[in-house]
Amino acid sequence: MPDRPLKLGTRASPLAMAQAHEARDRLCAAHPGLEVEIVPVTASGDKVLDRPLAEIGGKALWTKELDAWLLAGEIDFAVHSLKDVETIRPLAIAIAAILPREDVRDVLVGVESLSALPPGARIGTSAPRRAAQALHARPDCQVVGIRGNVQTRLAKLQAGEADATLLAMAGLNRLGMAHYGTPLDPEVWLPAPGQGAIAIEARAADESTRALLSAIDHAPSHRAVIAERALLAALGGNCHSPIAVLTSQDGGNLTMKAALLSPDGAERVDATTTFAAADLDGPARLAAQLLAQASPAIAAHFDPPES
C-alpha cells in the first residue's frame, strides 16, 4: 500500500467527475485503507465548443493535459471515457484497467423516434458516426453541430438550436438522468467503438500502481473494447471517419458487427464476424472485409496501415 494518497486525474465535466468517483470508489473498495485524491483539469476539448472536434485537434483535446500530468508524475493515474481516447497512445502510457462496461446504446432526445421527425428537421450532433447514421436513416433531415457536455447539449436543444439530439445512454445513467430520451436499438443504430467503457491509464513503467488497478479491471469489458480499438487501428480511421461497432460475447468468443459510412450517410457497408477473444487478428480481418466492400466515398475517409 502506498504511503501517500494516490492522485487520480480527470476532466472537470460533471460526467467525467462521476466517472472518477466511480473509479475511486471501486479502487478503495478493492484496497481498504487506500487513499485517492481526485485532481480535475479543464481539458482543451471542453474549452472550445463552437467547432467540431475533428477540426480543432481531434480526440487528443480530451487527453493531452492529463497525459502531460501523468508523464510528469503530477498524477498517478487518469480516468477517461474510452471512446474519447485516441487509438494510438504514447508508449509510456498503458491502459491499466477497464471498469465494467455500461449500456452501449445511444439515446434520441427531443423526439420519440427518427421517423417521427418532420421533413427537414435539424438533428444536433458533432459526431461523424451519429451524423452519418442519422442521415442514412433520414436523408431529408439536416445535421447541425452541437458540442459540449450532456447538460450543455440538452440546454442547446431546449433553446431550439436543434429539433433532436443524440446522447450516450451510459453517460445519462452515470449522471442519474436515465429518464431522458428514447434508447435506440444497438443492432440497428450501432454504437461508437469503446462506448460505455471507462478506461484507467497509468504510466507503463509504474508497476505498483498498475498492480493496484488490476484489481478493478473487468476482463470481459477489457477484451471487448481492446478488440474494438484493434478494429479502429486496422481501419486507419480518424475523427472524420464514421465507424460504428457492436461487440457481444459468448464464452471465449467475440462477435463484432461493424459498419462504415460515408459522412453524408448516403452509403453504408456492414459486416459481422466471430472470433476467439484471444485472436488478436480477428478485428483486422473484419476491417479488411469492410474496406473491400467500401465504395470510394467511404474508403476515402480511412487510411489502413500497410501490412
Q: What is the pLDDT of residue 84?
A: 85
- Considering the domain architecture, whether residues 149 and 264 belong to the same structural domain is answered as no
Higher pLDDT, 91 or 239: 91
pTM for this model (two decimals): 0.90
Instruction: Find the CATH number of the domain harbouring 136.
Output: 3.40.190.10
Q: What are 160-184's pLDDT values in tens digits?
A: 999 999 999 999 999 999 888 999 9
Q: What is the pLDDT of residue 58?
A: 44
Q: What are 130-163's pLDDT values in tens digits?
A: 999 999 999 999 999 987 888 889 999 999 999 9
pLDDT band of residue 123 (cuts 50, 70, 90) is very high
Residue 56 has pLDDT above 80, yes or no: no
Q: What is the pLDDT of residue 61?
A: 60
Cell numbers linked to 143? 445535421
Q: What are 183-200's pLDDT values in tens digits?
A: 999 999 999 999 999 999
End-of-domain residue from the set 158, 183, 208: 183
38 neighbors 51 (Cβ within 8 angstroms): no
Q: Say if 190 falls within a structural domain.
A: no
Q: Considering the chain, what percentage of its residues have pLDDT values greater than 90?
A: 79
Which residues form the catalytic set? 84
Strand partners, 168: 106
Q: What is the pLDDT of residue 108?
A: 97
Mean pLDDT of the chain: 91
Q: Say if 266 falls within a structural domain.
A: yes
Residue 51 has pLDDT above 80, yes or no: no
- Considering the domain architecture, whether residues 276 and 156 belong to the same structural domain is answered as no
Q: Centre a 10 Å sphere on the Cβ of residue 283 and count the other Cβ atoms it contains.
A: 27
CA distances from 23 to 148, 159, 203, 215, 226 (A): 23, 34, 17, 11, 19
- Considering the domain architecture, whether residues 54 and 172 belong to the same structural domain is answered as no
Q: Say if 224 falls within a structural domain.
A: no
131 neighbors 263 (Cβ within 8 angstroms): yes
Residue 55 has pLDDT above 70, yes or no: no
Q: Say if 150 falls within a structural domain.
A: yes
Q: What are 20-50's pLDDT values in tens digits?
A: 999 999 999 999 999 999 999 865 544 454 5
Distance CA 183, CA 297 (A): 29
- Considering the domain architecture, whether residues 85 and 213 belong to the same structural domain is answered as yes
- Considering the domain architecture, whether residues 95 and 113 belong to the same structural domain is answered as no
The pLDDT of 94-116, averaged and rounded, is: 96
Q: What is the pLDDT of residue 147?
A: 77
Place of cell 470510394: 296
Q: Say if 209 falls within a structural domain.
A: yes
Distance CA 65, CA 70 (A): 9
CA distances from 67 to 11, 16, 61, 73, 85 (A): 11, 15, 11, 10, 11
The domain of 283 spans 230-299
Q: Say if 223 falls within a structural domain.
A: no
Asked which of 45-49, 84-88, 146-150, 254-258 is least confident by mean pLDDT, the reply is 45-49
Q: Say if 188 falls within a structural domain.
A: no
Q: Say if 189 falls within a structural domain.
A: no
Query: Longest C-alpha distance within the chain, in Å?
Result: 62
- Considering the domain architecture, whether residues 90 and 117 belong to the same structural domain is answered as no
- Considering the domain architecture, whether residues 85 and 209 belong to the same structural domain is answered as yes
Q: What is the 3-state secondary structure (H, E, C) of the chain?
A: CCCCCEEEEEECCHHHHHHHHHHHHHHHHHCCCCCEEEEEECCHHHHCCCCCHHHCCCCHHHHHHHHHHHHHCCCCEEEEEHHHCCCCCCCCEEEEEECCCCCCCEEEECCCCHHHCCCCCEEECCCHHHHHHHHHHCCCCEEECCCCCHHHHHHHHHCCCCCEEEEEHHHHHHCCCCCCCEECCCCCCCCCCCCCCEEEEEECCCHHHHHHHHHHCCHHHHHHHHHHHHHHHHHCCCCCCCEEEEEEEECCEEEEEEEEECCCCCCEEEEEEEEECCCCCHHHHHHHHHHHHCCHHHHCCCCCCCC
- Give the count of domains, the chain: 3
Higher pLDDT, 12 or 259: 259
Q: What is the pLDDT of residue 49?
A: 47
Q: Centre a 10 Å sphere on the Cβ of residue 179 and count the other Cβ atoms it contains.
A: 6
- Considering the domain architecture, whether residues 117 and 168 belong to the same structural domain is answered as yes
- Considering the domain architecture, whether residues 207 and 69 belong to the same structural domain is answered as yes
- Considering the domain architecture, whether residues 90 and 205 belong to the same structural domain is answered as yes
Q: What are 214-239's pLDDT values in tens digits?
A: 999 999 999 999 999 999 999 998 77
- Considering the domain architecture, whether residues 282 and 295 belong to the same structural domain is answered as yes
Q: What are 277-304's pLDDT values in tens digits?
A: 989 899 999 999 999 999 999 999 999 9
- Considering the domain architecture, whether residues 204 and 63 belong to the same structural domain is answered as yes
